[in-house]
């Protein structure tokens, strides 16, 4: 998936999340005006923190995502050790469009489609309804710009909840 397509999806998701939040925040209407329909809330990501070392040929940084509605367990993933970029051990998992990370310097992790998966997988360190802690697979930092640096723009998605910002906090 191209960076511009992901940014378009992120903008659409943000607009949808904003509209959903406004709807949920609106006062409930009494009596017959109350809707009987059930709405499934989209996960909300409120903050993302990065820790670890920036740059190539270093261990994966840790990414801590805080918010709500992530669910009790991660989405199902498939092992991402054999990729079109080579074979890696401990390269994490690919999660389709349910869990992925993309950086504006040509680095993506965890995304997969019928055309294949990103060269870098995602390893879930811990998962709860309100906090997800991730690291990247062993392909991280091994080629081109497959690593994070402070100042990089990023977008990430958890179960269709999308959040973006600027990487900071690495040393």
Sequence-ordered list of residues with C-beta below 8 angstroms from that of 154, at least 6 positions apart, any chain: 48, 101, 102, 103, 104, 148, 164, 165, 166, 167
Cα–Cα nearest to 165, from 20, 15, 59, 14: 14
pTM, full prediction: 0.78
The pLDDT value recorded for residue 47 is: 96
Confidence of residue 23 (pLDDT cuts 50, 70, 90): very low
If you average pLDDT over residues 136-140, what whole number do you get?
97
Helix (H) / strand (E) containing 47: strand 44-51
Longest CA–CA separation in the chain, Å = 62
Instruction: Point out the least confidently predicted range of 8-22, 80-94, 104-118, 143-157.
Output: 8-22
């Amino acid at each position: 998936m191209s960076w511009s397509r992901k940014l378009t999806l992120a903008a659409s998701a943000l607009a949808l999340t904003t509209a959903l939040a406004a709807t949920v925040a609106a006062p409930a209407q009494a009596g017959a005006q109350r809707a009987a329909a059930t709405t499934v809330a989209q996960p909300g990501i409120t903050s993302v923190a990065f820790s670890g070392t920036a740059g190539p040929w270093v261990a994966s940084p840790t990414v801590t995502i805080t918010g709500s509605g992530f669910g009790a367990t991660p989405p199902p993933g498939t092992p991402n050790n054999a990729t079109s970029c080579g074979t890696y051990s401990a390269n994490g998992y690919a999660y389709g469009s349910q869990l992925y990370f993309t950086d504006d310097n040509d680095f993506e992790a965890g995304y997969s489609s019928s055309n294949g998966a990103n060269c870098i997988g995602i390893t879930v360190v811990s998962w709860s309804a309100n906090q997800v802690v991730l690291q990247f697979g062993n392909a991280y930092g091994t080629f081109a710009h497959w690593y994070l640096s402070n100042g990089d723009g990023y977008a990430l998605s958890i179960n269709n909840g999308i959040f973006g910002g600027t990487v900071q906090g690495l040393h």
